[in-house]
Amino acid sequence: MTCHLKPDARAVTIAVGSELLTPDRTDTNSLFVTARLNAIGIDVAAKHVVGDRRLDLLAVLRESLDHADLVILTGGLGPTADDITRAVVAEAFGVPLLEDGIVLERIRRRFAARGIAMPEINRRQALVPRGATILPNENGTAPGLLFERDGRTVVLLPGPPREMHPMFERFVAEHLAPYAGATRIVRRVLCITGRTESQVDELVQPVYGPWQQADPPIATSILATLGQIELHLSVRAVAPAEGEARLARAAAQLRTVLGTDLFSDDGRSLEQVVGERLLTRRWRIAVAESCTGGLLSSRLTDVPGSSAYVDRGVVCYSNRAKTDLADVPPAIIEQHGAVSEPAAVAMAEGIRLRAGVEVGVGITGIAGPGGGSDTKPVGTVVVAIAYPDGHTVRTMRFVGGREQIKFQSAQAALDMVRRHLEG
Amino acid sequence: MTCHLKPDARAVTIAVGSELLTPDRTDTNSLFVTARLNAIGIDVAAKHVVGDRRLDLLAVLRESLDHADLVILTGGLGPTADDITRAVVAEAFGVPLLEDGIVLERIRRRFAARGIAMPEINRRQALVPRGATILPNENGTAPGLLFERDGRTVVLLPGPPREMHPMFERFVAEHLAPYAGATRIVRRVLCITGRTESQVDELVQPVYGPWQQADPPIATSILATLGQIELHLSVRAVAPAEGEARLARAAAQLRTVLGTDLFSDDGRSLEQVVGERLLTRRWRIAVAESCTGGLLSSRLTDVPGSSAYVDRGVVCYSNRAKTDLADVPPAIIEQHGAVSEPAAVAMAEGIRLRAGVEVGVGITGIAGPGGGSDTKPVGTVVVAIAYPDGHTVRTMRFVGGREQIKFQSAQAALDMVRRHLEG
């Protein structure tokens, strides 16, 4: 099989599906594809989203073929009449769609393994533009397709990420790698807490100014996300190791100005960093959550291997549960209220002692939309961390909706634990 | 000012900025714009993202002008050399860019108000394609621009949402509304569990086939997301209430074929539906989670007002915690293992009795990536629900990474509770 991708090849992604043109949906497949293409030196020049309309997809596909070496389409490979990607690609190249016996048999077997006869409509998924290479789908019925013609490569991938990602890793990456350009794009994400976006910009500007004049330059961008600021660095390099070494030196320079506000210089999440710090110190953690409702536990346990240091979590919404599960003395709640520093400290100390671990966390607050008052408005959150030798406690006020307040509260608790473990 | 938008006008969005072509960023401005356009009856036919390269933007803009009545560009209006949107729009229409004295004066005053002299570079933001209407920016320096020519309307908006949103509300919506056509687009999302995408399609095809022939037609699309299938319906209507009534009748028809697999006919999440069912019956719930690590609690408490029915949650990763927090007899774990139906039932019954509530949930399983075995591979999850008069328990096997397995397990538990409450 020949591949016509040139050095410094340019790619375009097209996500197909009318649901991606509604106010609530966004195309995330292109993010995965971009990361994988960048890793082999292919730049993404444009991303498109089109609905299930033949003429719209045809127009965008033709325009893309005029300007890119590689076009990656995701979605529209399902079995229903509004799945048009196969047919439009065949039309764009002027080739017929033919039923592929091997693909059809694979789809039948997939249904049979679940004890179901293949619905007749799934037959459509065995249609292949003549000359296309079939990319087996190990997690679904629709195969991917790879089509090369006129110096252009077009790849059709299923929309569901759990089908698309493994197919890309297994069949597409392998196919494209030998033809990618002479340089690779290497990226690094630094994550920061405790500062605003403009504070970070002011601090780091003197450091990264000179990089933009270097050859090749290190590109930087600052991004404010919920609960953290991210610095994205990228550079082109012939050997990935060389680019990574440059970005590692750049990250080290930034660490000198950002200090402990920089919690991750390789994109690791705050829960991963906290997990590593706990493992290193051989400490275990237990959490008592009110307003975050289990989110802190859930984030801690998103990390593979977290059972080594997460002992337990309790979600104690009601006052009685705070007493039952974290031994909070009812008198403290009566005297200071459930959202108070003494209550948060009692939750942290209580769960720490009950679990017999080194770190206890107590979170209590008002996530809204109801429950606020003049003195304790919605967004008021108290976080306490108890250690073998004492505790820290902070009262904060967050803005946003209920889920944003929950996230920021969990983020603040993780950050307080991190700073104690690093300090 | 004349406006050439036809009834049933089609719009295209173009987000400009190379940072939007990296693996970590997504264009969210188009979601806001889509919601606002739909509300005045304008469909979004395609969304594009292009970098700061003149030829790329020019190609996408020209292709868009061929296929849409309205093109909305966001971003690329800043003061630096890589902000190219103004110049490319002028080039596409063959008009010169001219410095606008009023805009320049407004930018100068904005800086002066902060006690700063306008940097010379910001002069670029006063350049206007000849004939464009200026949209004042109340939250930043870059004005928006509105350009009408050859039966097409092009709107240039700043990229930062805090500048773009108010500008759209104040100046763009007002300008487009009278010309937006006689109809509005109304949408409705139905959510289904317990069926595959093709099963849902086969079931509902006979119902929605005729709608596509109706005038105006009800458009439908089916979407498989993690743990549920979604049916998206949309229709055009002169009055939104009329469209909503048609979609309500359509949803009722679908309910007759989907039965209790249809859990929401207005986009409500499964946790919202479970919350409402609990409230109606005045039941309270308590959960004991192992492999989901608090995710079920967190999802239940994402719902405003959930403190009325969520009593407590416990996250018991270790065997000792299962005994301490949910009274699981150690003998059950010894005999059957921690991931077993007897253990899940003991967790559900234990937490139910401990909390003194009507519904108890126990979840235990192997979220991976480690911990699997031949008989209990990664993805094996047992969910038990205990009620005053008995319990149900199911062993399931999910595919995906750790976070996907957690999500599907929580989804399955919510769905089991829902079906019991509805049954």
**What tens digit of pLDDT does each residue of B348-368 get?**
999 999 999 999 999 999 999
What value does the mean pLDDT take over residues A192-201?
83
- A150 or B331, which is more confident? B331
The verdict on a CB contact (< 8 Å) between B45 and A53 is: yes
**Distance between the two ends of chain B, CA-based, in angstroms?**
60
What residues of chain A lie within 8 A of the CB of B324, using their CB?
312, 354
- Best mutation target among B312, B327, B339, B414 (most A Cβ atoms within 10 Å) is B312
Query: Would you state the pLDDT for residue B6?
Result: 52
Distance CA B232, CA A165 (A): 25
Encoded tokens for A270: 């705050």
Scan for tokens 């969520």, then name that residue.
Answer: B310
Is the pLDDT score of B73 beyond 90?
Answer: yes
What residues of chain A lie within 8 A of the CB of B304, using their CB?
368-370, 402
> In this predicted structure, which of B121-125, B218-222, B315-319 has the lowest mean pLDDT?
B218-222
Is the pLDDT score of B235 beyond 70?
Answer: yes
H or E element in which residue B255 lies: helix B240-258
The verdict on a CB contact (< 8 Å) between B198 and A230 is: no
The verdict on a CB contact (< 8 Å) between B314 and A312 is: yes
Mean pLDDT taken over chain B: 91
Alpha-helix residue ranges (DSSP H) falling in A114-218: 161-167, 173-176, 197-208
Interchain CB contacts (distance < 8 Å): A and B: 250
Scan for tokens 């089916």, then name that residue.
Answer: B222
Residue A177 pLDDT class (50, 70, 90 cuts): low
The verdict on a CB contact (< 8 Å) between A314 and B310 is: no
What residues of chain B lie within 8 A of the CB of A315, using their CB?
287, 294, 297, 301, 310, 312-315
Is the pLDDT score of B299 beyond 50?
Answer: yes
- A208 or A114, which is more confident? A208
Query: Would you state the pLDDT for residue A3?
Result: 40
The verdict on a CB contact (< 8 Å) between B293 and A306 is: yes
CA distance A1 to chain B (A): 29
What value does the mean pLDDT take over residues A391-397?
96
- What is each CA distance from A218 to A197, A205, B51, B80, B383, in whole angstroms? 20, 13, 17, 18, 50
What residues of chain B lie within 8 A of the CB of A367, using their CB?
301
Is the pLDDT score of B154 beyond 90?
Answer: yes
* Partner residues linked to A249 by β-bridges: none
Distance CA B392, CA B420 (A): 9
The verdict on a CB contact (< 8 Å) between B48 and A45 is: no
Is the pLDDT score of A187 beyond 90?
Answer: no
Query: Would you state the pLDDT for residue B160?
Result: 86
CA distance B389 to chain A (A): 24
The minimal CB distance from B297 to the residues A294, A355, A368 is found for: A294
The minimal CB distance from B312 to the residues A47, A314, A368 is found for: A314
Look at residue A214 and give its three-state secondary structure.
Answer: coil
- Best mutation target among A312, A357, A363 (most B Cβ atoms within 10 Å) is A312
Is the CB of residue B413 less than 8 Å from the CB of residue B360? no
- What is each CA distance from A152 to A36, A43, B14, B262, in whole angstroms? 19, 15, 24, 44
- B320 or A176, which is more confident? B320
Scan for tokens 């004349």, then name that residue.
Answer: B2
What value does the mean pLDDT take over residues A99-104?
95
Residue A81 pLDDT class (50, 70, 90 cuts): confident
> In this predicted structure, which of A338-347, A350-359, B151-160, B404-413 has the lowest mean pLDDT?
B151-160
What value does the mean pLDDT take over residues A31-52?
90
Is the pLDDT score of B223 beyond 60?
Answer: yes
Alpha-helix residue ranges (DSSP H) falling in A189-239: 197-208
Is the CB of residue B80 less than 8 Å from the CB of residue B121? yes
* Partner residues linked to B47 by β-bridges: A49, B13
The verdict on a CB contact (< 8 Å) between B404 and A28 is: no
B130 residue type, one letter: R
Is the pLDDT score of A53 beyond 90?
Answer: yes
The verdict on a CB contact (< 8 Å) between A47 and B49 is: yes
Query: Would you state the pLDDT for residue A180?
Result: 65
The verdict on a CB contact (< 8 Å) between B46 and A324 is: no
CA B196 remoteness from chain centre = 21
Is the CB of residue B89 less than 8 Å from the CB of residue B145? yes
Is the CB of residue A339 less than 8 Å from the CB of residue A395? no
CA B26 remoteness from chain centre = 13
Residue A4 pLDDT class (50, 70, 90 cuts): very low
Is the pLDDT score of A308 beyond 90?
Answer: yes
The minimal CB distance from B23 to the residues A34, A296, A314 is found for: A34
Is the pLDDT score of B182 beyond 80?
Answer: no
Angle (CA) B335 B336 B338, round 5°? 115
Is the CB of residue B184 less than 8 Å from the CB of residue B41? yes
Is the pLDDT score of A292 beyond 70?
Answer: yes
What value does the mean pLDDT take over residues B228-232?
89
- Best mutation target among A18, A54, A296, A363 (most B Cβ atoms within 10 Å) is A18
Query: Would you state the pLDDT for residue B314?
Result: 97
CA B390 remoteness from chain centre = 37
Is the pLDDT score of A255 beyond 60?
Answer: yes
Query: Would you state the pLDDT for residue B365?
Result: 97
Residue in chain B nearest A65 by alpha carbon? B59
CA distance A295 to chain B (A): 5
Is the pLDDT score of A307 beyond 80?
Answer: yes
Is the pLDDT score of B379 beyond 80?
Answer: yes
What value does the mean pLDDT take over residues B361-376?
94
Query: Would you state the pLDDT for residue B282?
Result: 97
Please give the backbone phi and psi of residue A395, each rounded to the nearest 5 degrees, phi first.
Answer: -105, 130
Question: For helices A54-67 and A85-93, what crossing angle results, to 10°?
Answer: 50
Query: Would you state the pLDDT for residue A1?
Result: 34
